[in-house]
Amino acid sequence: MYLSGVGPVRADALRRIGIFTVRDLLHHVPHRYEDASTIARISRLRIGDDATIMGRVISKGIIPTRKGLRVFQAVIQDESGLIECGWPGQPFLDRSINPGDLLLLAGTVRFFHGRQFAPRETINFGADEEDQAAGRVLSVYPATEGFSFKQVRALIERNLDTYLPLVTEYLPSAMLDEAQVPALPEALRMVHRPATLDEARRGRSRLAFEELLFVNILHIRARALARTPRAGIRFTNRRDLTSKLKATLPFELTDAQVRVTREIVKDMTSGERMHRLLQGDVGSGKTIVALFAALLAMENGFQAAVMAPTELLAEQHAATFAKLLAPLGLSPLFISGSLNAKARRAAATRLASREPVLVVGTHALVQGDTEFSRLGLAVVDEQHRFGVEQRLALGKKGERPDILLMSATPIPRSLALTVHGDLDVSIIDELPPGRQPVTTVRRLEKSRDKVFDFVDTQLGKGRQAYVVLPLIEESEKVQLKAATKAFDELRKGRLSHRRLALLHGRMDAAAKDDVMRRFRDGTIDLLVSTTVIEVGIDVANATVMLVEHPERFGLSQLHQLRGRVGRGAEESFCILLGDVSPDTEDRLSVVVNSSDGFKVAEADLRLRGMGDLFGQRQHGEATFKIANPFVDVELNALARESALGLLAKDPMLSSKANTPIHQVLRRRFDRAMELFRVG
Ligand code: ADP
Ligand code: MG
């Protein structure tokens, strides 16, 4: 079926925002709404306000600044007054924004020769659109590169009347009544064309309920499955290699490490297959726990594999293991895509032998030509960085090996099952002793020079630093330009005497690894990065994490970034630089005031929902697009009741009446369901 108004090029752009079918289009719902009550009058704006305004362009131009940055400026007018708006570094807007255009702008008011509006989001309705904000609700849709807001809205407008009548409700009406949510066709109409903000909310509640219902169904099924035993290897706790490691370890394990190690040993020595998630804040010492598990497998004559998401991280683990295992007379095997043919053959020979070896590597471990003779334990580090298939593939490399997944992205225990399926969860809730907390501070734009003086002082002491720029969803090209500019400014300006490098999302994996490696080896002093810096990387000499535009990051992301420093003996600093709105200031204070990743994650979940926690939503997995179980608490309770009722009567959802629900469940959660089939 072809949508009216979509050719191959636009279809590509649509696919990038996850729209493959008409159904996806109908479910591409506005991320927010504006009406007269949410749009501020321009005359009322005060410096520091975070506001949404709507007005017509009365003049425009490109202004060069002293630093060589070109700023697109426009004066916007509504019936109450005028304001100048400035888009630094975006002179190309001059091509698409013209006098007479009606703009919807969300952003902050700052001081710049008077009031100036700094838009964070710009929506151009064009010159034909009537200024009707006073009389109706505006639906604001997420856009993408190659697909502007206007196009998304026009496409939905054009197709809504054709396809809405084809949508049918498939949930029992009693269930909908109970939850007090409208039926699906009506709900979709309400979210796309609401008459009032309240109507938009009611429509959204139906879609949120549906999401919560299915997640609860999965959750309940997963629990049931978790209780059915799955046979696995029964290891014996010989206390041979593990005791030797304990005796030669250069430090004492923390109580939390001892506890989770016990949980893992218990799993591995039982006849059931282990399927455990080990969570622990960045730097909490998960790697050593994995090593103990690996040694337990090895002293039973099995092989153990640790898979890491990047070559660099795999290398780092291999080096760590090599050091710790040397006193035991053992050495780990390293496998990655970049090994030469000879090294590959040597590795393959060792893996094919019955030698109980520890192998560390990238996803090359799960590729076809890597064969294990006797895999007993599969460890996946930074597991959220892998797709479900890759995680499963490692487990399939052996005869029902035990599985240990590790992650520094903390999910509260109550939600872990919902998000991860039938995993058992172990949590390291304690950092090794003597770790200095990272000093975290907020600094305003006016202190920029001082901040960079400080960075320079640290570099002068031989330390290293990171500067992180936000990902701008709208356009990778814009992002790259902004990063390159920031990098050039530093390189040619105040830090010209230092060794700088740039890391960005458009570089291929090998180039990224190369830059990170040079940073690790100390031949780069300061790393400017647009991508969230490689997870798990341990550069003890780095003492400054400077984050630009902290308002663009989730709190958990900021916490992860902060975890990149504070790894050595020197005091470390995380600096959140820039002017933000009072609301954002409140939000950032969570990170400034707490160094506990779980507290930060919980605040993040409340404020921004589940999707952001993972940075990128994995298509088809049981995370949330619309609902937020932390905020939609009542709705979630209702959904849970409904799910329990449904499954109590029909545990496999196999009755004729429940066929549509079963189909939706299969379609939407195919991969998640596969996750439950691991055992
Ligand atoms: P993460 O949980 O983030 O993967 P790592 O396993 O990389 O953390 O550990 C971070 C650092 O802490 C490593 O340098 C490791 O050697 C060290 N470490 C781990 N456990 C302890 C401990 N009990 N005492 C002291 N240092 C430890
Ligand atoms: Mg780690």
186-228 tens-digit pLDDT: 999 999 999 999 999 999 999 999 988 988 887 777 667 666 6
For residue 233, the CA-to-ligand 2 centroid distance in Å is 26
- 185 ligand 1 Cβ < 6 A: no
Give the pLDDT score at 415: 61
Report which protein residue has its CA nearest ligand 1's atom 20: 285
245, 246, 249, 251: residue to mutate for ligand 1 pocket, most atoms within 8 A of CB: 251
The helix/strand/coil state of 259 is: helix
Cα distance between residue 423 and residue 407, in whole Å: 13
Please write the tens of the pLDDT for every residue from 564-592.
898 888 899 999 998 877 778 888 999 99
Q: Which ligand is nearest to the CA of 383?
A: 2
Q: What is the mean pLDDT of residues 607-624?
A: 46
Instruction: Give the ligand at the shortest distance from the Cα of 563.
Output: 1
User: Counting atoms of ligand 1 from 1, which one is nearest the CA of 320?
Assistant: 16
Residue 188: what residue type?
L
Q: Element (H or E) spanning 59, and its range?
A: strand 50-64
If you take atom 16 of ligand 1, which residue's CA is the nearest one? Answer: 285
Of 30-39, 372-381, 388-397, least confident by mean pLDDT is: 388-397
pLDDT in tens, 326-380: 999 999 999 998 888 899 889 999 999 988 999 999 999 988 778 899 999 999 9
pLDDT above 60 (res 602):
yes
Interacting residues of 501 by C-beta distance below 8 A, sequence separation 6+ = 515, 518, 519, 524, 526, 527, 528
Ligand 1 centroid vs 176 CA: distance in angstroms? 50
- Please report the pLDDT score of residue 549 as a whole number: 87
Across the range 12-40, mean pLDDT stands at: 81
pTM for this model (two decimals): 0.71
Q: Probe ligand 1: pick from 252, 279, 284, 436, max atoms within 8 Å of CB?
A: 284
Report d(CA 408, CA 431) in Å as an integer: 13
pLDDT at 619 over 60: no
CA distances from 1 to 121, 164, 328 (A): 33, 15, 64
Residue minimizing CA distance to atom 19 of ligand 1: 285
| Cα(353) to centroid(ligand 2), Å | 29
535 C-alpha vs ligand 2 centroid, how far in Å? 8
* Contact 597 CB / ligand 1 (< 6 Å): no
The Å distance, Cα 279 to ligand 2 centre, comes to 10
How confident is the model at residue 535, as a pLDDT? 62
Nearest CA to ligand 1 atom 25: 432
Q: The dihedral of CA 551, 557, 558, 564: what is its sign?
A: negative
Does residue 83 register a pLDDT over 80? yes
Check residue 612 and give its pLDDT.
Answer: 40
Instruction: Give the CA distances from residue 381 to residues 232, 398, 421, 426, 536, in Å, rounded to whole numbers and listed in that order.
Output: 21, 18, 18, 14, 9
Q: Where are the alpha helices (DSSP H) in 180-310?
A: 184-192, 197-227, 241-248, 255-269, 286-298
Q: Is the pLDDT of residue 671 over 80?
A: no
pLDDT tens-digit series, residues 626-669: 887 777 888 988 998 999 999 999 988 889 989 889 888 877 66
Residue 52, beta-bridge partner list: 39, 106
State the closest ligand 1 atom to the C-alpha of 257, by its place in the atom list counted from 1.
Answer: 23
Residue nearest to atom 18 of ligand 1 (CA): 285
CB of 538 closer than 6 angstroms to any ligand 1 atom: yes
What pLDDT score was predicted for residue 339? 87
Q: Report the atom number in ligand 1 closest to the C-alpha of 252.
A: 23
Residue-wise pLDDT tens digits, 237-289? 999 999 999 999 999 999 999 999 999 999 999 998 998 999 998 889 999 99
Question: What's the 317 CA to ligand 2 centre distance in angstroms?
Answer: 9
Mark out the alpha helices in 60-171 (DSSP H runs): 93-96, 149-163
Percent of the chain with pLDDT over 70: 87
CB 419 near ligand 1, within 6 Å: no
Ligand 1 centre from 257 Cα, in Å? 10
Q: Does residue 57 have a pLDDT over 70?
A: yes
Instruction: Work out the mean pLDDT of the chain and round it to a whole number.
Output: 85
Answer whether residue 296 shows pLDDT above 60: yes
pLDDT per residue over 513-545, tens digit each? Answer: 889 889 999 999 999 987 666 666 788 899 999
DSSP at 144: B
